[in-house]
Chain A
């Protein structure tokens, strides 16, 4: 069993490969309960691949991933994944409430109907992201930022020990961004560890204790203030200019 002091996520020399060239090489680091790590790197750097590896959906060539003291496949029921909202079909005939309830499916099991506890958890989760009044709306009628919040609510309803977010702030309005950050902060307060891939360095500063700089291999893993340095960023992005915002704008030139 995992005790509260054990790490929520351990990456030990993780190497993943789709073809002859490795997609990720020797990634290593530790995330404790209630801590958040930002995965930062350019497109195609392997951020999504690392998230898939933590979910146990892609095999490792070498190294080891330990999630809540177990293998990724064993721990999957206690890991929640938040996809990018714009990858989902807005025409799908499903209500916001039904999407959130999906977070409870593993607990409900195939043959039973959702119980009061499941509906309550789903309702509470929706309230945490500030969309309690939208439960009966069709998912696709919400704005992009609101849809992202619904998907976070689905993850919250699963009561995860580890939360994985794939580019949650892409194309998200300021109101939704704040709602997402608040909800993530509440989860962290409850001991949930968070892994979030993002391009937004200002948000990494705001929400994450740690950052992991990635571009196929690791360019740094550690406390945000110490790791998010101009030199490291320049190395990670290989000289490409960065689009940044907030007061800590760092631009790497080629």
Chain B
């Protein structure tokens, strides 16, 4: 496989996996947390590179620490949490920069770890994305109902006897795993685009969670493919291209759905409701 071929496979796989987990990130209202986690993961990636250990192993160990820290923060009262996240975010990034600046070739490495170098991915990177993809699929299929319950009604979820810490830990570990496998493709900092934007786009078009999930996976994969093609065609950074394509699609979706709903308010919109009116007496329950 050529470098571009591998890059395309990597971008599409990562986009799909990111799209799948992004739905859970958005429903659980974790985009800002995720942004902080990407920045806090960055020094772990740098440490792994400096220590000369496997990038996934090194940043994985560091990532678990990040998750435990984030989980501890989220247990505190709501007030002050955003402040703490903001500090963790900038401090994590700064720590990575300091660690990197102690090495030669600082600027080149900084670029690779923050915004990615997808044309250099190898077969091992593709395997890593695939393995994390399987983990995310297993999580979403076995714990999807609980994740939805927890996101929708935290008190009701706890009252039903479920452990909030258990499901939160599972979700945050999955998010961290996706961040880590996103590093070679889009870098630690741009990973947040892969982990949030597909669901944000899907949320505008979809009426329920299964549809939102399908749209997010397709959007993530599509943006990955388009980003790499744009990057190869115009010889610009792939991580940046993928992120700009995703961001552009979000802006277009926002404008299009706003226009659609403005028209639909007169004609009967499909986007604002779960179903276009229910038939009397019919009782069907779809799974989430």
Do A93 and B273 touch across chains, with their CB atoms under 8 A apart?
Answer: no
Given contacts A95-B286, A114-B287, A133-B280, contact A138 B161 (CB under 8 A): no
B209: chain A residues at CB < 8 Å are 93-94
CB of A109 to closest CB in B, whole Å: 10
Given contacts A76-B161, A93-B203, A105-B145, contact A136 B155 (CB under 8 A): no
B273: chain A residues at CB < 8 Å are 137-138, 141
In the bound complex, CA of A164 to CA of B156 (Å): 11
In the bound complex, CA of A116 to CA of B57 (Å): 46
In the bound complex, CA of A94 to CA of B167 (Å): 19
In the bound complex, CA of A24 to CA of B148 (Å): 33
B278: chain A residues at CB < 8 Å are 133-137
Do B275 and A93 touch across chains, with their CB atoms under 8 A apart?
Answer: no
* CB-CB contacts below 8 Å: B144-169 with A: 145-146, 148-149, 151-153, 155-156, 158-161
A100 CB-CB contact with B under 8 Å? yes
Do A92 and B208 touch across chains, with their CB atoms under 8 A apart?
Answer: no
* CB-CB contacts below 8 Å: B118-165 with A: 142-143, 145-146, 148-149, 151-153, 155-156, 158-161
Do B160 and A97 touch across chains, with their CB atoms under 8 A apart?
Answer: no
**Which one, B143, B148, B160, contacts A94 given CB within 8 A?**
B148
B152: chain A residues at CB < 8 Å are 88-89, 92, 94, 99, 102
A237 CB-CB contact with B under 8 Å? no
In the bound complex, CA of A99 to CA of B152 (Å): 9
Query: Most B CB atoms within 10 A — which of A73, A98, A105, A134?
Result: A98
Q: Which residue of B lies closest to A164 (CB)?
A: B159
A20: chain B residues at CB < 8 Å are none
A57: chain B residues at CB < 8 Å are 158-159
A77: chain B residues at CB < 8 Å are 160-161
Do A102 and B149 touch across chains, with their CB atoms under 8 A apart?
Answer: yes
CB of B238 to closest CB in A, whole Å: 32
In the bound complex, CA of A171 to CA of B258 (Å): 30
Do B143 and A123 touch across chains, with their CB atoms under 8 A apart?
Answer: no
B27: chain A residues at CB < 8 Å are 92-93
Q: Which residue of B lies closest to A48 (CB)?
A: B155
Contact with B along A142-166 (1 / 0, CB 8 A): 0000000001001000100000100
Given contacts A93-B203, A105-B146, contact A113 B287 (CB under 8 A): yes
A132 CB-CB contact with B under 8 Å? yes
Given contacts A102-B149, A141-B273, contact A94 B285 (CB under 8 A): no
In the bound complex, CA of A113 to CA of B285 (Å): 11
In the bound complex, CA of A93 to CA of B288 (Å): 10
B288: chain A residues at CB < 8 Å are 94, 98
A119 CB-CB contact with B under 8 Å? yes
Do B156 and A95 touch across chains, with their CB atoms under 8 A apart?
Answer: no
Do B285 and A93 touch across chains, with their CB atoms under 8 A apart?
Answer: no
Do A110 and B151 touch across chains, with their CB atoms under 8 A apart?
Answer: no
Do B274 and A102 touch across chains, with their CB atoms under 8 A apart?
Answer: no
A151: chain B residues at CB < 8 Å are 156
Do A136 and B284 touch across chains, with their CB atoms under 8 A apart?
Answer: yes
Do B284 and A105 touch across chains, with their CB atoms under 8 A apart?
Answer: no
Given contacts A99-B152, A133-B280, contact A138 B274 (CB under 8 A): yes
B285: chain A residues at CB < 8 Å are 95, 97-98, 100-101, 114, 119, 122-123, 135
Do B159 and A55 touch across chains, with their CB atoms under 8 A apart?
Answer: yes
CB of A104 to closest CB in B, whole Å: 9
Do B160 and A105 touch across chains, with their CB atoms under 8 A apart?
Answer: yes
**Which one, A81, A93, A119, A133, contacts B155 given CB within 8 A?**
A81
Do B208 and A95 touch across chains, with their CB atoms under 8 A apart?
Answer: yes
CB of A70 to closest CB in B, whole Å: 12
CB of A19 to closest CB in B, whole Å: 12
CB of A49 to closest CB in B, whole Å: 13
Q: Which residue of A lies closest to B156 (CB)?
A: A83
B149: chain A residues at CB < 8 Å are 102, 105
A79 CB-CB contact with B under 8 Å? yes
CB of B151 to closest CB in A, whole Å: 7
In the bound complex, CA of A114 to CA of B288 (Å): 11
**Which one, A55, A83, A97, A110, contacts B143 given CB within 8 A?**
A110
CB of A41 to closest CB in B, whole Å: 20
A5: chain B residues at CB < 8 Å are none
Task: Please list the 5 inter-chain residue pairs (A to B) with the smallest Cβ-Cβ separation, ordered nearest first.
Answer: A81-B159, A138-B274, A76-B161, A123-B283, A136-B278
Listed in ascending order, the chain B residues whose CB lies under 8 Å from chain A are: 27, 142-143, 145-146, 148-149, 151-153, 155-156, 158-161, 203, 206-209, 212, 272-275, 278, 280-288
* 25 A-B pairs in the complex with CB atoms less than 8 angstroms apart: A55-B159, A57-B158, A81-B155, A81-B156, A81-B160, A83-B155, A83-B156, A93-B208, A94-B208, A95-B208, A97-B285, A98-B286, A102-B145, A102-B152, A102-B160, A105-B146, A106-B161, A108-B145, A113-B287, A119-B284, A122-B285, A126-B283, A133-B278, A133-B282, A158-B160
Known: A83-B153, A133-B282. 6 other contacts (CB 8 A): A92-B27, A92-B152, A94-B288, A97-B283, A98-B285, A105-B145
